[in-house]
Structure 1
Amino acid sequence: MNGPWGFVEPILNFLAAHPDWVGVAVAVIAFAESLALVGLLVPGAVLMFAAGALIGGSHMPVLPILLWAMAGAIAGDGLSFYLGRRFRGELRLLPVIRRYPGAVNRAEALFHRHGGKSVVIGRFVGPVRPVIPAVVGMLGMPPGRFLLANLGSAVIWAPAYLLPGVVFGASLALALEVMGRLVAWIVLVITLFLLLRWLLPRIDRPLRLAGHRLARAVGRQPPRGVEWAWLRPLHAATRALRYRRGWFWWLMLAVLVASSARALLEPAPMDWERGMAAVIRVSASGLDDAFWAVTQLGGVLPVMLAALALVGVVWWVEGQRRALLALLAMAATQAIAYGLKGWIGLARPLSLTETPAFGAALPSAHAAGIAVLVTLWVVLWPAARPISRNLLLAIAGLLTAAVAVSRLALGVHWPLDVLAGIGLGVTLGALPVVARSPRGSGNGSMTAVAVSMVVLLATAGLTRQLQWPDPLADYPEPPGAPVMTAADWLAGDGPLPQRRLAILGLEAPFDAQWWSAATPPAGFQPDWQQPPEWRWQTLLRWVSPRPTPARLPVLPRWHAGRIAPFVRIRLGDDPTRRWVLRGWPVARVERGRVWLLQLEQERITGGLLLPRLERQRPDRTAVRRLLDAAAERAERRSIAGIRPPRYSPASESWPQGGISD
């Protein structure tokens, strides 16, 4: 490679010889391409495409490289923004900037036309890209808005610049095969984005207009008189529909009412709740101690002490009314949460309701406690500080989500339990606003929130250290395969399910039980083969207009939160069809494991943008024929003097007496 970009070739040669440095190199390229002044001289697009081709050709994992690219782009734009704010008008006097006056002028015009969106737009626009962060900093864009735009645009920019090279490097023939489909997908995604951008304001405006009309209808002043005091919160909540926060409050109230009504009508978890809880529980396996530490943030003791600290400072600085309303919101949340638990009586997962440490499930008191506390933080925070208020909103959302996920990961709640708890906490946490309390000076509110945060973190850490009043020993053990004897399994006394629990609930039944001393189960070779692994090359084959079952990886299926670890495919004479066999180990017996097997037949043909996949459940005759052949090939031997059946085909009672091992 000759000319001004001649230095690119030795860089690519070095990366080809040292693939471990590709992530760092991509971060440096993204940083330099995003940095003011330097980005005007660096061919970032060429280098990112070349790095992507190198990744695709060497089968390196793409996700870590994408994270490196995002980090470099964020850091480069962040430094450029700082330079713009630091030097202001002096930036124009720098030699490199004077060589490209048009780029700075276009960046200024873009900012004046689009405001904060100019950071997102400018990241994809040629010579404007490396100077737009410095220009918006020079023109005084708030750091908070810039940070959000910087993070959001980097998440889109890194794949857009890197993945085309990955596709090209993965396989030239494959790239040519799927290029038309990829272009169609890109056009579709851009069209949907533009449609969403056009649609959202047209939904938001009518909603807020309706809110303004309701506000005018109920009047500016609340009903007067003691006998109408109960209507004042409703009046304030109705007038709040003029704002997005008001709509969010009504949404949380609707979530609380809907989830409680659902549990009252049918006091049992829904299928999708069971599946989602199983997936989260298994995904968090091994992290119980960490999630238990997080869940202390929503415990009764830390939340109540943090609320008392909040109320005390507000009482001291701003006055009694807001302090009493905050205290009433916290007390009412805890009282209503435990009252609803006793009234609805929804059972917890794993029969925890029958243990002395846990009561009924809905709503989650931990989720309600942290939600009401952080909502009080938000409503008591000074309105004159919008930047710090956005940061507080982010912290509040993060704490609430962390506690909610921890309850699911520990296996003590269903998803609707935590949603109902969050709805209850947000609804009552807005009481100081709904009751139309005067705002006060605002300084006391800021101090109160800061003190409450410190007390919450300190108390949660102390309860974790002391393991009181919510010890880890009360929580269920991490999930694992049950252990049973061969005699128990033969007698049918083992806890083996007959239906597969997927993410969205109970689905098709299993087809067979299989006892195998080998892992994975023996006897399936040579008729059954391993499917292609999930890599960038195989993922792109799903976009091919001419899909073939032998080249496509198998879509994942879950049981009780686990993806099937044993997957095999069997090809036949029909080039569009294949058999798919999935197996889950569910119990350990002497010298082996019991597996639950499920068979499907797939028909894969070309579609408009993706292949058409048709699944068909086989009949029992086909299942017996396929599994009999595999069992015949497996070695027959006795284990501890017992000749157990190698497998039991599915029926109403899982009959024993199949082929012996």
Structure 2
Amino acid sequence: MTESDFQPLIAWLELNPNWVFVAVLLIAFIESLALAGVIVPGVLLLFLVSALAGHINLPIEWLLLSGFLGAILGDGISFFLGHYFKDSLRNIWPFSRYPKTLQSGERFFHKHGGKSVMLGRFIGPIRPVIPIVAGMLGMSQTRFTVFNALSATIWAPFYILPGYLTGSAVHLVLPSNFYPALFSLIAALLIITLSFRYASLNLQHGSRIYAALLRNNKSQNTSSKDYEFPLASLSLFIGSSLFFIIWSFLVLRTGLLSQLDASVLQLGAELRNISTFVSDISSRIFIHLTLLGDEKFLYASFITLIALMLYLRQFRASTLLVISGLSTAAITHTLKAVFSIARPELVLSPPVSYAYPSGHSSGSTVFYGLIAAFIAQQLPKTQRWQCYLLFFVPMFLIAFSRVMLSVHWLSDIVGGIALGLAICGISRVLYSTHQAYDAANRRDITVEKKAVMTALCLWLGILIGYQLYFFPEALQAYQLRP
């Protein structure tokens, strides 16, 4: 099917805009329903209907909620069918006709467990069968509901926002330097991705660089056969520290970055001023992102993570988190006071602290960076770079939101990320000699999984409450001055 096949539906929805939300809910429902998503081109339909919604300025919140509910209902009914029919499902059409589809879903579920409910929603060939397989294989309803809700929370904006933003941008005239800036950003992110991958693969135990640098090192702790000298973390600390020092010198002692800072700040302000609608949508998105890096929220996040580590008997890791979190706050505030660089003053109520380095950037980098480090140490060496790259996404988005909201210069967030990476690196180096102690005190894997899920739900509850409470105030504070 092509776009022209759905033109009558789009035309009717344009005349009856209130039905757009119902259409999105139904499309998301069918797209998530067992095997129906293979027959119905749900991705194309969602894009077209979302583009129409953006074109006629329908509220994005209600559109995302519709997609979220449809996705939950579709997967929920699929899970119920699997839970009800169990193995007899194999003899029911269409599963009896396409047994390999069910078998591939089972293999994926056995390999990834509960995570398959989240991962499978984004993998085309197995997407329609994972929920029904989860029910068939006896996954608990509570556990499925948690994973289903989390995956739908990510899925809805991932599939709806591209069409919505495309529809809203049809008649916009972008600033002249928009595309050069966009291509530069893409190039920078590509370089970061390749650097993460190269460093992770070539600075780990077993690589040639690792062996060459440490062949004659007699001082490393070898009391544990599983000990790995944290060469990648040490390299991260040294490289990020040197970069931060050089970058700070350029910011403080030269004017080389002034024009770049001014250009990026102006571009962000122009993008928000293209139209009232775009300004409202972009402000809301970036404010939600920037609240994730607020100092109060990061303190609550660190406390939640520390409590989890204490419960899991990871006492050295808990101590590391306390020291890293407090050190990040102390160092960032001290450097702000010493450097005394003024912020941009384009919003109604700019933050009162100095600009450089960005506290949102350094704090979120340390928080998500250390989580990535704890998870990555449990993964095969060849997959660790993917974990680090995944957790770099929230670091980048939070930092980027500060520039787009016109409360930081570009140099501020670059310096903040570099500082945060340096703290992550040295923290991981210091923890390496205590890792074996924590590993020996770990709880049962089943207990660990339940504790992690409980902590994740608690953190999400804190996140939602924080957003609901502080968003109205932030929305007013971050409005551009007339």
Counterpart position of 1:20: 18
In the alignment, does 2:420 pair up with 1:422? Answer: no
Counterpart position of 2:481: 480
Counterpart position of 1:78: 75
Is the radius of gyration larger for structure 1 or structure 2? 1
**Matches for 1:515-554 after TM superposition, within 5 Å:** none
Return the alpha-carbon distance in structure 2 between the equivalents of residues 51 and 385 of structure 1: 35
* Deviations 1:377-415 (CA, angstroms, capped at 9, x unpaired): 5545796799xx9xx999976875675356446644212
Alpha-carbon spacing, 1:377–1:158, altered in 2? closer, same or farther (3 Å) = closer
Q: How many residue pairs align between the two structures?
A: 395
Q: Is the 8 A contact 1:367 1:418 kept in 2?
A: yes
Alpha-carbon spacing, 1:46–1:240, altered in 2? closer, same or farther (3 Å) = closer
* Deviations 1:211-256 (CA, angstroms, capped at 9, x unpaired): 5222222338975399xxxxxxxx9442559xxxx87x78866764
How far apart are residue 257 of structure 1 and its match? 5.0
Q: Which has the higher helix share?
A: 2
Return the alpha-carbon distance in structure 1 between the equivalents of residues 346 and 314 of structure 2: 47
Counterpart code for 1:25 = A
Return the alpha-carbon distance in structure 1 between the equivalents of residues 372 and 14 of structure 2: 51
**Matches for 1:240-639 after TM superposition, within 5 Å:** 256-257=244-245, 259-267=247-255, 269-280=257-268, 283=272, 291=287, 298-299=294-295, 318=313, 321-341=316-336, 344=339, 346-350=341-345, 357-359=352-354, 361-379=355-373, 400=395, 404=399, 407-408=402-403, 411-435=406-430, 436=432, 437-438=434-435, 439-440=438-439, 441-442=441-442, 450=455, 478-481=479-482
SS of the aligned residue for 2:414 comes to helix
How far apart are residue 35 of structure 1 and its match? 1.9
Alpha-carbon spacing, 1:70–1:146, altered in 2? closer, same or farther (3 Å) = closer
Return the alpha-carbon distance in structure 1 between the equivalents of residues 318 and 215 of structure 2: 25
Alpha-carbon spacing, 1:253–1:326, altered in 2? closer, same or farther (3 Å) = same
Return the alpha-carbon distance in structure 1 between the equivalents of residues 342 and 195 of structure 2: 43
Q: Is the 8 A contact 2:47 2:162 kept in 1?
A: no
Q: Is the 8 A contact 2:306 2:321 kept in 1?
A: yes
SS of the aligned residue for 1:349 comes to coil
SS of the aligned residue for 1:36 comes to coil
Larger deviation, residues 399-408 vs 23-32: 399-408
Q: Is the 8 A contact 1:85 1:137 kept in 2?
A: yes
Q: What residue ranges of structure 2 are gaps of 5+ in the alignment?
A: 1-5, 168-189, 222-227, 274-278
SS of the aligned residue for 2:353 comes to coil
SS of the aligned residue for 1:363 comes to coil
SS of the aligned residue for 2:76 comes to helix
Return the alpha-carbon distance in structure 1 between the equivalents of residues 89 and 153 of structure 2: 21
Relative contact order (C-alpha < 8 Å, sep 6+): which is higher?
A: 2
TM-score by length of 2: 0.54
Alpha-carbon spacing, 1:324–1:63, altered in 2? closer, same or farther (3 Å) = closer
How far apart are residue 19 of structure 1 and its match? 5.2
Q: Which has the higher strand share?
A: 1
SS of the aligned residue for 2:211 comes to helix
* Deviations 1:503-539 (CA, angstroms, capped at 9, x unpaired): xxxxxxxxxxxxxxxxxxxxxxxxxxxxxxxxxxxxx
Counterpart code for 1:24 = V
Counterpart position of 1:536: none
In the alignment, does 2:201 pair up with 1:208? Answer: yes
Return the alpha-carbon distance in structure 1 between the equivalents of residues 378 and 403 of structure 2: 37
Q: Is the 8 A contact 1:326 1:431 kept in 2?
A: no
In the alignment, does 2:236 pair up with 1:238? Answer: no
Counterpart position of 2:40: 44
How far apart are residue 309 of structure 1 and its match? 8.1
Return the alpha-carbon distance in structure 2 between the equivalents of residues 260 and 158 of structure 1: 37
How far apart are residue 434 of structure 1 and its match? 1.5
Return the alpha-carbon distance in structure 1 between the equivalents of residues 24 and 306 of structure 2: 50
Return the alpha-carbon distance in structure 1 between the equivalents of residues 305 and 45 of structure 2: 53
Alpha-carbon spacing, 1:251–1:16, altered in 2? closer, same or farther (3 Å) = same
* Deviations 1:166-200 (CA, angstroms, capped at 9, x unpaired): 9xxxxxxxxxxxxxxxxxxxxxxxxxxxxx9xxx9
Q: Is the 8 A contact 1:26 1:48 kept in 2?
A: no
Alpha-carbon spacing, 1:403–1:79, altered in 2? closer, same or farther (3 Å) = same
TM-score by length of 1: 0.42
Q: What residue ranges of structure 1 are gaps of 5+ in the alignment?
A: 1-7, 167-195, 227-234, 466-470, 482-661
Q: Is the 8 A contact 2:289 2:398 kept in 1?
A: no
Q: Is the 8 A contact 1:214 1:238 kept in 2?
A: no
Return the alpha-carbon distance in structure 2 between the equivalents of residues 331 and 47 of structure 1: 45
How far apart are residue 108 of structure 1 and its match? 3.2
How far apart are residue 112 of structure 1 and its match? 5.9
